[in-house]
C-alpha cells in the first residue's frame, strides 16, 4: 500500500481554523439543544451525526495515512465494537447494560457508531499524550486515564439521554476498569505502530467533549 503523506484532502491553515470553529459550534449548539426541552428530541436524533462529524474533522487533521495508521483504525473500530457486543450479550465485561435508540442503527444490539466512537476517543487521547517524554507503556496509562475521566461524565448523561441504560440504574465500577484496560491495550497499539501521532485537533475535541458532558451533567442530570 502506497503511503500517503498529508491528510486525504490537504487542508490549509484557514480551512483548519474553519473546521475547528465548526467543531466548537457543533458542541455549543448541541449542549444548548440538549438542555432545552423544546429542542431535545431533535438534538438527540442528531447525536450519531455529531459523532461522525467529530471523527471526520479529527481525521482530516491526520498527516500520515500509511499502512500502520489504517491498521490501527481498523483494529480500534472493530475491537471497540465487538467488545461492546460481547459486553451487552454477557454482562461480564462492563456490567449489565443495554443500548437505547439514541445512537442509531444497531448490529447485534450495539449501535454501529460505537466502533467509530472507540476509534475517535482512542486516537484523540493517544495524540494528546504522544509528546510525553516517557515509555510508551506510561503514555498508554495516561491516555487510558483520559478516556476514563471523560467516561465519568459521559455515563450519567448517557443514561439521561437514553444512549444506554444500566441494570438497576447503577453504573458499576467494573465499567471504568474495563474502559481503562481495553483503552490501555488500544493505546499500546497506537504508540507502537509507526505513524505520525501529533494532531492539533485532538486536544480541542477532547476538551470540547469534556466541557460538553460536564455542562450536560450539571443541567440535565443533577
Distance (Å, whole) CA 157 – CA 220: 7
Distance (Å, whole) CA 23 – CA 204: 9
Look at the pTM and tell me if it is higher than 0.85. yes
Summarize the confidence of residues 37-51 as an average pLDDT: 96
Give residue 9's pLDDT. 47
Cell of 14: 484557514
Distance (Å, whole) CA 166 – CA 179: 15
Q: Which element (helix H / strand E) includes 154? A: helix 136-160
Distance (Å, whole) CA 89 – CA 31: 32
Q: What's 168's DSSP letter? A: G
Give residue 14's pLDDT. 77
Give residue 31's pLDDT. 96
pLDDT band of 15, cuts 50, 70, 90: confident
pLDDT band of 222, cuts 50, 70, 90: low
Residue 110 CB burial class (10 angstroms; 0-12, 13-18, ≥19) = buried
Cell of 91: 454482562
Amino acid at each position: 500500500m502506497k503511503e500517503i503523506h498529508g491528510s486525504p484532502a490537504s487542508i490549509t491553515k484557514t480551512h483548519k481554523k474553519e473546521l475547528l470553529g465548526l467543531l466548537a459550534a457543533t458542541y455549543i449548539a448541541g449542549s444548548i439543544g440538549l438542555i432545552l426541552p423544546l429542542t431535545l428530541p431533535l438534538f438527540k436524533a442528531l447525536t450519531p451525526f455529531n459523532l461522525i462529524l467529530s471523527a471526520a474533522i479529527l481525521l482530516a487533521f491526520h498527516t500520515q495515512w500509511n499502512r500502520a495508521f489504517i491498521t490501527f483504525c481498523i483494529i480500534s473500530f472493530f475491537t471497540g465494537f465487538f467488545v461492546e457486543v460481547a459486553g451487552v450479550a454477557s454482562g461480564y465485561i462492563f456490567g449489565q447494560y443495554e443500548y437505547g435508540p439514541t445512537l442509531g442503527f444497531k448490529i447485534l444490539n450495539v449501535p454501529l457508531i460505537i466502533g467509530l466512537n472507540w476509534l475517535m476517543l482512542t486516537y484523540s487521547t493517544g495524540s494528546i499524550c504522544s509528546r510525553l517524554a516517557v515509555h510508551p507503556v506510561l503514555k498508554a496509562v495516561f491516555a487510558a486515564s483520559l478516556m476514563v475521566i471523560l467516561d465519568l461524565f459521559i455515563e450519567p448523561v448517557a443514561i439521561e439521554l437514553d444512549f444506554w441504560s444500566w441494570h438497576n440504574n447503577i453504573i458499576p465500577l467494573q465499567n471504568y476498569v474495563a474502559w481503562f484496560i481495553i483503552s490501555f491495550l488500544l493505546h499500546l497499539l497506537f504508540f507502537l505502530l509507526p505513524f505520525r501521532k501529533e494532531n492539533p485537533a485532538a486536544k480541542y475535541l477532547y476538551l470540547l467533549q469534556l466541557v460538553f458532558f460536564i455542562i450536560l451533567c450539571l443541567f440535565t442530570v443533577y
